Amino acid sequence: MITLEQIQAAYPHIKENAHRTPIFQCRSIAERCGMSETSLHLKMENLQRTGSFKIRGALHRISQLSDAEKAKGVVGASAGNHAQGLALAATLGGVKSTVFMPEFASIAKIQATRRYGAEVILEGKNFDEAVAAGKARAAETGATFISAYDDDGIITGQGSVGLEIVADIPEVDTVLICVGGGGLFSGIATAIKALRPQTRIIGVQAKGAPAAVESWRVGRLLPRGEVNTIADGVAIKSPSERTFRYIQEYADDMVTVDDQCIATTMIAMLERAKVVVEPAGAVALAALLSGKVEARGQTVVTISGGNVDAKFLADVIEREMIRSDRYMHFFSSVKDKPGGLAAFLDLIAELKGNIISVVHNRISPSVPLGYTGVEMLLEVRDAEHIARVREGLGAHGYRVEMLD
């Protein structure tokens, strides 16, 4: 296992090429977690170069290559964040990089990886298939395959986050870290437990990719399972034997959060902190917001990444607006005659509903002859406003069928 001294030795090169990301405080987020503003600290790795912590490990791993290895290039596999970190680190080091990404990878992450200088090859339906393809290419060409997490050099570089946390919050009592393959957890936990052994370290996984949590609970690495989560950055079937040793050694607790909690956290960060966070980047904070972890003392939460596709973010926003009673999505019907729809819309305006979209279907089979189906999305203030709109429409003879 790596040591604090190795992390400290790697740090000078890392900080020359990576940002020392800020510790951020947000009163409204802290209050939602049942904490004071001065006790909740967000380590903003979403503001890191390439949009995530991955550049740290990649910078250190590239620096370890011999001249002969550099000449043959490097190969990686990633859903997106390691791809970008490795691409930029290789380019800065004058090394050719090839990155295999799953076919489902975010378009934004694919384009960014190419801009950072890597050759991108889309292969495989999931992360594991992309890894297999990457390892095969490395074996064929003699290039060095650099894992996103199962590599001592990568873990050492990620440990630099832990050095900065303790330097900025010397009395840190609790640190929450998202867990996918376990590389970030391994590095941060190594640094913090060496510098401040009494600090509580908690790993957080997406409920749809829970292998590390389930393995930790039974004390052994379980067989690899399937994953299903919106958090593609942690959608990994299992940690490696290497990273699981760190989880066993350093985790004081391990919890999971579901996709709804992750989405809610993303929107809370966007609305209250004015910061864009990707699903994987929101995982650790989601554990606090959902009550899965009890707030205790000076707490640092790693916001591990901010690389999210714009369309996906828009979808999350719309779904969350409906779930939180900020949107009213419903189906109704109006008389199929001139002015029928206009009268309906006038009534909506009187009820103070702000129309987002209207779908007018004159041949809907679910409405009687002589009527036209109308699917509508309204912006409203809250659940009470929804009730008033429903009551007002009903009073004028309009049926209201709520939609998800």
User: Which residues are part of the catalytic machinery?
Assistant: 54, 304
> Which backbone phi and psi does 210 adopt, to 5 degrees?
-100, 15
Residue 170's CB is within 10 A of a number of other CB atoms, namely: 10
The arrangement of strands across the sheet holding 200-206 comes to: 23-24, 40-44, 299-303, 174-178, 200-206, 253-257
CA distances from 1 to 6, 7, 77, 174 (A): 10, 12, 23, 22
Sole residue written with tokens 């819309």:
345
3-class SS letters over the chain: CCCHHHHHHHHHHHHHHCCCCCEECCHHHHHHCCCCHHHEEEEEHHHCHHHECHHHHHHHHHHCCCHHHHHHCEEEECCCHHHHHHHHHHHHCCCCEEEEECCCCCHHHHHHHHHCCCEEEECCCCHHHHHHHHHHHHHHHCCEECCCCCCHHHHHHHCHHHHHHHHHCCCCCEEEEECCCCHHHHHHHHHHHHHCCCCEEEEEEECCCCHHHHHHHHCCCCCCCCCCCCCHHHCCCCCCHHHHHHHHHHCCEEEEECHHHHHHHHHHHHHHHCCCCCHHHHHHHHHHHCCCCCCCCCEEEEECECCCCHHHHHHHHHHHHHHCCCEEEEEEEEECCCCHHHHHHHHHHHCCCEEEEEEEECCCCCCCCCEEEEEEEEECCCHHHHHHHHHHHHHCCCCCEECC
- CB of 117 closer than 8 Å to CB of 87: yes
Amino acid at 398: Y
